[in-house]
Structure 1
Amino acid sequence: MSSFDVLIVGIGGQGTILASNVIGEACLVEGIPVRGVETHGMAQRGGSVESHVRIGGVHGPLIPPGRADLMIALDLLEGVRYLHYLKAGGSIVANDQTVVPTPVYTQKLPMPARDELLGSLGERDLFLIDAAALAAEAGNPIVQNVVMLGAASRYLPLKESSMREAVARSVPAKTLDLNLKAFDLGRNAVRSE
């Protein structure tokens, strides 16, 4: 298999790291080499978090700018912030919501409007998903990251069954049904080709 690079971006508390762990686990299920790394600033409360997942034959865990095949943006503003990592022709699966950063309040900075953020993404292969609504439909707003994984699974070079098994291996048993429902709702939101 040739390499496939996935950048997952969000803010602290959105489940970015769990999402990267699920993709890595799915690679292990399929016996595909995988490397990954997370970088986080003030991730405990609202800080930027990025996870690099490199599927296939690669040497280092960090995706160079301009090389990501897929970006999974758990927050629309973070998707714009890390857009320089996406390669020409790359795809974005983005949550159609933005958490207002703390400096907007504390320093009275302007907050870009949704249309401005979408305009910054330009002419890209973009799939927007209302992860909050689908997570609520699944039964708990905390599973938005798994909804996003379900949607992104349509773009990943991994089998649906491997992703579902990876979810089962990565979440507590008592939340398995909730998480699998969230995964299915996200996956079904993206029309199969």
Structure 2
Amino acid sequence: MTGSFDILIVGIGGQGTILASNILGEACLIEGRHIKGAETHGMAQRGGSVESHIRIDGLYGPLIPPGQADLLISFDLLEALRYSHYLKKEGTAVVSRNLVIPTSVYTQKLTPPTEDEIIAALKKHGLCLIEADRIATEAGSPLSQNVVMLGAASRWIPLKPENLLEAVKRLVPKKTIEINAKAFQMGRDAGGKS
């Protein structure tokens, strides 16, 4: 593969965005691939916007410029919409159907976009929608949604799925390895169906 493969992972605080980016980094190390990454913690608290930039085999700095991401992995529909301008025209968005309406929408009496409006806007790129909360719960823990999303996105990531799974096993707490391995595989299966 030539050139950088750029992945932007977005979500809100507490959804496991940073762990997901660390898993990608670990998988790159397993494969001996060059990686650059950067994280931006919006409000640095649960509920604040979090973004992780991952550049596999990148030649330039760690931040992905708008319009240059090959893949957007979003743990929330609104966050996917907020960061969709980072995707290349031919890029793909792997998005959880989860929708968290920020408190500011209520305090400012705003009307949030509907799920259908968000999905319609995201369809200008390749779009893979995942029921991450349902799949994670079936795998054994709703906390494994981030790993479900990595499994779903693994079909587009230029790393071997077995190395991504090995990275999951290395980085999740030991007592949750089995649940997260199952979550990864179930996410991968779901990503193949979209």
TM bin, normalised by shorter chain, reads over 0.9
| Divergent runs of 4+, >4 A | none
Q: CA RMSD in A?
A: 1.3
**Structure 1 unaligned residues grouped into runs of 5+:** none
Contact 1:96 1:129 in 2 (8 A): yes
* Count of residue pairs the alignment pairs up: 193
User: In structure 1, what is the Cα distance between the partners aligned to 2:149 and 2:84?
Assistant: 18
User: In structure 2, what is the Cα distance between the partners aligned to 1:35 and 1:56?
Assistant: 8
> Residue deviations 1:63-122, cap 9 Å, x none?
011100000011010000011110110001000121111112222221211011112213
Contact 1:94 1:127 in 2 (8 A): yes
What is the 5 A alignment of 1:165-184?
165-184=166-185
Q: Which residue of 1 aligns with 2:116?
A: 115
What is the 5 A alignment of 1:3-152?
3-152=4-153
User: In structure 2, what is the Cα distance between the partners aligned to 1:160 and 1:49?
Assistant: 25
> Residue deviations 1:104-162, cap 9 Å, x none?
22222212110111122132210000000000101111110000000000110000110
Contact 2:169 2:177 in 1 (8 A): yes
| TM-score, length of structure 1 as denominator length | 0.96
Contact 2:18 2:39 in 1 (8 A): yes
Contact 2:152 2:192 in 1 (8 A): no
| TM-score, length of structure 2 as denominator length | 0.96
